[in-house]
Amino acid sequence: MTARSERLASLDAGGAERVHERDFAALSERLEGEGVSAETLVAEVQRFEVALPSWAFATGGTRFGRFSGTGEPRTLREKMEDAALVHSLTGAAPRISLHIPWDAARDMDEVRADARRLGIGFDAVNSNTFQDQPGQPLSYKLGSFSNPNPAIRRQAIEHHLQVIEVGKAVGSKALTVWLADGSNYPGQMSLRGSFERVRECLEEVYAAMPDDWRLFTEHKPYEPAFYATVVQDWGSSLLLAQALGDRAQCLVDLGHHLPSVNVELIVARLLGAGKLGGFHFNDSKYGDDDLTAGSIKPYVLFLIFHELVLAGRERLPGFDPAYMIDQSHNLKDPIEALLQTVDQLQQAYAKACLVDHARLAEFQASGDVIMAERTLKQAYETDVRPLVSEARRRRGGALDPVLAFRASGYRAQKTVARPAAPPGGAPTHL
Ligand code: LRH
Ligand code: MN
């Protein structure tokens, strides 16, 4: 625990408030001295919002095991309760992203009513052709949209049309398509044929979407396919989005890049092409580790937000990225991990808003490498936590959401209220 949060933790609410006000006043004064309005920045951070993944509220696992926690959600309604809590403590997570059929419910109108009661909404809805569902006639073992068997492709298209109907019922405005389609051995799959089949199927799905919806294509280098993945990289995703039409854009899951790939450069490329649709924020050291955003490569997260803030300030045509989280919490309390994540994203965004773009452009133009780098580092190395806490406080959130969550006793209450589902008991909505 850092000095500042240690100080906050050791103090009662009043004390924490006083420490915060002192820190915020000091930072505001310092920023004013650099010609930066703290008030403007707080207002910008207050506008930052990110969607929560419905699938990250229960403990995740790996093929080697899963160590479940207590008081975990067993139904979509309970996931939405947890999402509403994350929003109440951060003021920055007003929407949940559903995954179908994991979140399929008998009565989506009731789901929508629950959401309204809880004060949250819905972001992009996610399809799933990477698992076979009980009673599903045809298997996706050898692919869905890329499958040589037209009946399997048809089944996958029908699933996406159903997902769109679910999304329409809850008020989503986008569909995220991540395909596990690929091969494990050279020769197993036609590398061009599989891609063409995916494009054809997506064209039908794209045509079936309401006019005000967007389709996000999500690339991933490997897993579960370990030789070739059909939508393996940003280039494949961009080719699809360009082939489909204006409302098709690329979704960048930060963990879907091989180590040392320059993700902020990919973001800049997709921005330049007007095809950056959104993000699945998380962090990783090796593969698609789905760790807490900002926990492993915080400078990269900052550099990604730097590209986004620049694009926003330049009013880049079509710039409207959907910010979403996609994580799996194998060790941390899922709610605490999501509170940390939202805080890390707010901090990275605030630091990116601090960059002096005019000075940076000057140094880039004059070839002053050191001063250009220092201009970025100046912002990145600024402790913006008082500013982010202030933005949260002004949206009714907590100065330190994780500490507030722990003090709330929410997990203990839910441990009593949500006895673990009997083994094999399927999660339902009601
Ligand atoms: C694939 C992925 C995709 C989701 C899934 C839960 O790795 O990132 O976005 O559908 O995780
Ligand atoms: Mn993802």
The model's pLDDT over 315-371, given as tens digits with 9 standing for 90+, comes to: 999 899 999 999 999 999 999 999 999 999 999 999 999 999 999 999 999 999 999
The model's pLDDT over 133-165, given as tens digits with 9 standing for 90+, comes to: 999 999 999 999 999 999 999 999 999 999 999
What phi-psi label fits residue 274: left (phi over 0), alpha (psi between -120 and 50 degrees) or beta?
Answer: left
Residue 9 pLDDT: 58
Q: How far from chain centre, in Å, is Cα 135?
A: 31
Listed residue (312, 394, 308) closest to 348, CA to CA: 308
Query: What's the CA gap between 349 and 34, in Å, rounded?
Result: 19
Listed residue (153, 174, 111, 160) closest to 321, CA to CA: 174
Compute the distance from residue 101 Cα to the ligand 2 centre, in Å. Answer: 16
Sheet holding 276-281, edge to edge: 121-122, 95-97, 51-53, 322-325, 276-281, 248-253, 214-218, 174-178, 125-126
The model's pLDDT over 177-232, given as tens digits with 9 standing for 90+, comes to: 999 999 999 999 999 999 999 999 999 999 999 999 999 999 999 999 999 999 99
Q: Give the pTM.
A: 0.95
Residue 106 pLDDT: 85
Q: How far from chain centre, in Å, is Cα 242?
A: 23
> Of all protein residues, whose CA lies closest to atom 7 belonging to ligand 1?
288
* Residues with a CB atom less than 6 Å from ligand 1: 55, 126, 178, 218, 220, 253, 280, 288, 326
Contacts of 206 by beta carbon, 8 Å cutoff, 6+ apart: 215, 244, 245, 247, 248
Which ligand 1 atom is the nearest neighbour of the CA of 126?
10
Residues in the chain: 430
Residue 421 pLDDT: 63
- What is residue 37's three-state secondary structure? coil
Q: Is the pLDDT of residue 430 over 70?
A: no
The model's pLDDT over 237-292, given as tens digits with 9 standing for 90+, comes to: 999 999 999 999 999 999 999 999 999 999 999 999 999 999 999 999 999 999 99
Rounded to the nearest integer, the mean pLDDT of the chain is: 95
Residue 318 pLDDT: 87
Query: What's the CA gap between 197 and 153, in Å, rounded?
Result: 8
How would you label 386-408 residue by residue, b for 16+ Cβ within 10 Å and e otherwise?
bbbbbbbbebebbbbbbbbbeee
Compute the distance from residue 149 Cα to the ligand 2 centre, in Å. Answer: 27
List CB-based neighbours of ion ligand 2 within 5 Å. Answer: 253, 280, 326
> Of all protein residues, whose CA lies closest to atom 1 belonging to ligand 1?
178
Which ligand 1 atom is the nearest neighbour of the CA of 255?
8
Can you count the helices (H) and strands (E) in the chain?
A: 16, 11
Residue 333 pLDDT: 98
> Of all protein residues, whose CA lies closest to atom 2 belonging to ligand 1?
178
> What DSSP element (H or E) covers 140?
none
**Measured distance between the N- and C-terminal CA atoms of the chain, rounded to whole angstroms:** 39
Cα 8 to Cα 12, 164, 386, 426: the distances in Å are 8, 45, 12, 41
Cβ pair 215, 202 in contact under 8 A: yes
> Of all protein residues, whose CA lies closest to atom 4 belonging to ligand 1?
178
Residue 429 pLDDT: 43
Cβ pair 428, 110 in contact under 8 A: no
The model's pLDDT over 12-34, given as tens digits with 9 standing for 90+, comes to: 667 889 999 999 999 999 999 99
Cβ pair 104, 133 in contact under 8 A: no
**126 alpha carbon, closest ligand:** 1
Which ligand 1 atom is the nearest neighbour of the CA of 290?
8
In order, the DSSP letters of 297-340 are: -HHHHHHHHHHHHHHHHTT-TT---EEEE----SSS-HHHHHHH
The model's pLDDT over 358-401, given as tens digits with 9 standing for 90+, comes to: 999 999 999 999 999 999 999 999 999 999 999 999 999 999 99
DSSP state at residue 222:
S
Which ligand 1 atom is the nearest neighbour of the CA of 218?
9
In order, the DSSP letters of 331-400 are: SS-HHHHHHHHHHHHHHHHHHHHHS-HHHHHHHHHHT-HHHHHHHHHHHHTS--HHHHHHHHHHTT--SS
Cβ pair 32, 38 in contact under 8 A: yes
Compute the distance from residue 252 Cα to the ligand 1 centre, in Å. Answer: 11
